[in-house]
Amino acid sequence: MSAYEDILYDVKGHVAVVTLNRPVKLNAWTAAMQASVKRAIVDAQADDAVRVIVVTGAGRGFCAGADMGNLQQIRPEKWNERELARADSRVEAPKSSLGPDVSQHYGGRFGYLMSIKKPVIAAINGPCAGIGLVFTLYCDMRFAASEAKFTTSFAQRGLIAEHGISWLLPRITGTANALDLLFSARKVSADEAARIGLVNRVFPQEHFLDGVMTYARELATTVSPRSMAVMKAQVWKALFQDLNDAIAVGDAEMQKSFATEDFKEGVAHFMEKRPAKFTGR
């Protein structure tokens, strides 16, 4: 029996691929899917062979949002109890000494993604709505297929900005764009998503996952995994720091870097004009 439900998990080289796997329902989000995604990403974090994590969707969609059948069963008086259960505190991101601790700042359903010490890339292959869109905002980067569409959807369901999207979205797209996307719940093309900074890059639909995997493999093989882990923590921590604090953390982490094997390898492969062989140590 699979350890995961409603998802697929595969490791290709140094890249773990987590695939939302309810294609008939456009990968509509379920509690089982949420628990499995978290478990798979934490498993990838603990696997020394994995250096980058990619999350995508099966079939023609990334995630159509919450399963509407489940939404109809929500009881307002049980909402907080339900949310605490869905945070799934039984599965925790492994503790790491690489970079500053960010866990105190990022909670809720998806805050664990900021504590994962490996890049997490959302590979948005098709429609991405509601909670599916929220999930991608917690990822470190977002790549979109050319035919992907995005919508917050909440206002059209009589709902509000949930799960921290009111904090994350303005920091990614700017306040005016965030309010437009939240108020109107209109559908946004991949090209517009790239223009307003919602996604990093758009790849042609027919070669989409190949393009994402090429980028992921470059991260996995050409740069220091230790450097990525520390820099990820620095950036997410810096959103709660002033400039002087960020400088102090950077100075301390730079001093630690000089004593690592990856620093020595970084200099050696450049001087010797050969591919890098980083170990993460």
SS3 of 101-167: the string is CCCCCCCCCCCHHHHCCCCEEEEECCCEECHHHHHHHHCCEEEEECCCEEECCHHHHCCCCCCCHHH
* Predicted TM-score (pTM) of this structure: 0.92
| 47-62 per-position pLDDT tens digit | 999 999 999 999 999 9
The mean per-residue pLDDT over the stretch 82-92 comes to: 57
pLDDT at 76 over 80: no
CA distance 73 to 93: 30
Q: Is the dihedral of CA 214, 221, 43, 171 positive or negative?
A: negative
- Confidence at residue 87, expressed as pLDDT on a 0 to 100 scale: 52
pLDDT for the residue 79: 46
Residue located via tokens 């980058």: 52
Q: How confident is the model at residue 3 (pLDDT cuts 50, 70, 90)?
A: confident
Bridge partners, residue 151, by sequence: 129
Rounded to whole angstroms, the maximal C-alpha distance in the chain is 65
Query: Mean pLDDT lowest for which of 30-34, 87-91, 275-279?
Result: 87-91
Is the pLDDT at 175 greater than 70, yes or no?
A: yes
Q: Per-residue pLDDT tens for 97-140?
A: 899 999 999 999 999 999 999 999 999 999 999 999 999 999 99
Q: What's the pLDDT tens digit per position in 200-222?
A: 999 999 999 999 999 999 999 99
The number of residues in the chain equals: 281
Q: Is the pLDDT of residue 144 over 50?
A: yes
- Location of structure tokens 């569409």: 149
Q: What is the pLDDT of residue 95?
A: 73
